[in-house]
Structure formats: C-alpha cells, structure tokens
Chain A
Amino acid sequence: AQKITQTQPGMFVQEKEAVTLDCTYDTSDPSYGLFWYKQPSSGEMIFLIYQGSYDQQNATEGRYSLNFQKARKSANLVISASQLGDSAMYFCARANTGGFKTIFGAGTRLFVKA
C-alpha cells in the first residue's frame, strides 16, 4: 500500500525557534494533495496547510510553511517562531485526485520548551 512516512516520533524545540517536521510519501498518482494537521492534547484535528502537487510555490499559512520537493517526494512542515501552544501531534497526509482517499503518517509529537 502507498504510504506516508514521518521518521521523527518525537521532537523538542526551544520556544521562538523554528522547527522542521519531516514527511515523505509515495504515490503513483499524477495529481495529489499534501496536508498537515495538528492534534493537540484535546484530541481535535486541526487543518494547518495544503500543497497541491502541481503548485509551483511552496505553501505558507502564517507561521507554517510547507517545503515541497516533488522529485524527492517530501513535504516537510516548517514552523517558525515556535510557541508553547504548538506542542501537539502533527500528522502529514496525502489525498489523491478528488480527495477520495486520504491517508496519514504515524505522526510526530512536538514538544516546545520554554
């Protein structure tokens, strides 16, 4: 089965520093979408950012940016100026065309230190 790989089960970052969460994926679809979601300890899933496979520019949303390297099949999330509230699980996900099938990686737990 096609899968999403997040190689960092847990990461620590100092408050106000930037952090990169890694994500690689495999796919045979010519068109697909890549997403990052945040899951705080409350359990809700929060959509952060989206990158389309044909987008030329890397996506940005406030302090979040997605470092998309299509040839390497990687879609790393960069969080700038980390805040204590960024402590959470982060999931990378890939959807095929139409969003019909969205699969997730195992997640990275981020700890932000004061």
Chain B
Amino acid sequence: DVKVTQSSRYLVKRTGEKVFLECVQDMDHENMFWYRQDPGLGLRLIYFSYDVKMKEKGDIPEGYSVSREKKERFSLILESASTNQTSMYLCASSLIGRDSGSPLHFGNGTRLTVT
C-alpha cells in the first residue's frame, strides 16, 4: 500500500516565520502535489511536480514555493507566513497515468495555524 507521510500533524507558527512542510512517499510515484483545504472552498492546488527538480504552479501559488530534490520528497515552503495561510495542507502523490487514470494518494494532512 502506498504511504504518503507528512512530517507534522499540527503546526503553530508566528507571522513572518519561514515554514517548511515536508512530504515523503514510498511508492516511486512521479507526481506529487500540495493542496490546501478550507471549508467551503474544497481543495485548492498550490503546486505540483511531475519529476525531480520540476515544478508547476497550481491555482494559488502566491506566498508559497516548493522543492523536490529527491523523487520521494516534496516540500512546501511558506517564505513569510501570514495569518491567511492558516489552513489544512494536504500532500498527495500519483503515478503518471497513461490516460490520467491514476488516483491520488493523500497524506493525513498538516493543520497549520499562523498567529
């Protein structure tokens, strides 16, 4: 079974801090994703990566950056945390599907609070 592990379940940071959210998957998946989940808004895609050192912006990349130095690890970075980045962050991975048929496997999420 695929396992996607997010390093922290809960995180509290102060405004202006640099924040790192780490995600590791153990099934050699090419694609990795970072989403944030907010009530009433569903999951919104921040960034995704389809290969080592490759990254693409999602729908809400502002205020975030990512790093993928190894295939199994995808990090989300908040350069200077702000209160409007308080949210649940979900990491996911998937195979590159021949016909887009590979489902996402999710981590358990990191609930980040910025005060």
Q: A residues touching B (Cβ–Cβ < 8 Å)? A: 1, 4, 6, 9, 31-33, 35, 37, 43-45, 47, 50, 52-54, 91, 93, 95-107
19 new A-B contacts, CB < 8 A, other than A33-B97, A93-B43, A106-B40, are A4-B42, A6-B42, A31-B100, A37-B104, A45-B92, A45-B104, A47-B104, A52-B99, A91-B42, A93-B104, A97-B99, A98-B50, A99-B31, A99-B94, A100-B31, A101-B48, A101-B56, A102-B94, A104-B44
Find out whether the CB atom of B42 lies under 8 angstroms from the CB atom of A32: no
Q: Which of A37, A44, A95, A105 is B97 in contact with, Cβ under 8 Å?
A: A95
List residues of chain A with CB within 8 A of the CB of B45: 101-104
List residues of chain A with CB within 8 A of the CB of B42: 4, 6, 91, 104-107
List residues of chain A with CB within 8 A of the CB of B56: 100-101
Q: Which of A32, A44, A103, A107 is B108 in contact with, Cβ under 8 Å?
A: A44
Q: Report the interface size for chain B: residues with CB under 8 A from the other chain.
A: 31
List residues of chain B with CB within 8 A of the CB of A104: 35, 42-45
Find out whether the CB atom of B97 lies under 8 angstroms from the CB atom of A99: yes
Find out whether the CB atom of B106 lies under 8 angstroms from the CB atom of A98: no
Find out whether the CB atom of B90 lies under 8 angstroms from the CB atom of A45: yes
Closest to A101 in B: B48
Q: Mark B68-112, 1 if CB is under 8 A from A, else 0.
A: 000000000000000000001010101111011111111011000
Most-contacted residue by chain B among A31, A98, A106 (CB, 10 A): A98
Find out whether the CB atom of B103 lies under 8 angstroms from the CB atom of A98: no
Using A106-B40, A107-B42 as known contacts, say yes or no to A50 and B101 having CB atoms under 8 A apart: yes
Most-contacted residue by chain B among A1, A37, A43, A99 (CB, 10 A): A99
Find out whether the CB atom of A52 lies under 8 angstroms from the CB atom of B100: yes
List residues of chain B with CB within 8 A of the CB of A9: 40
Closest to B106 in A: A45
Bound together, the chains give a CA A74 to CA B9 distance in angstroms of: 35
Q: Mark B45-59, 1 if CB is under 8 A from A, else 0.
A: 100101000001011
List residues of chain A with CB within 8 A of the CB of B103: 35, 47, 50
Closest to B88 in A: A43
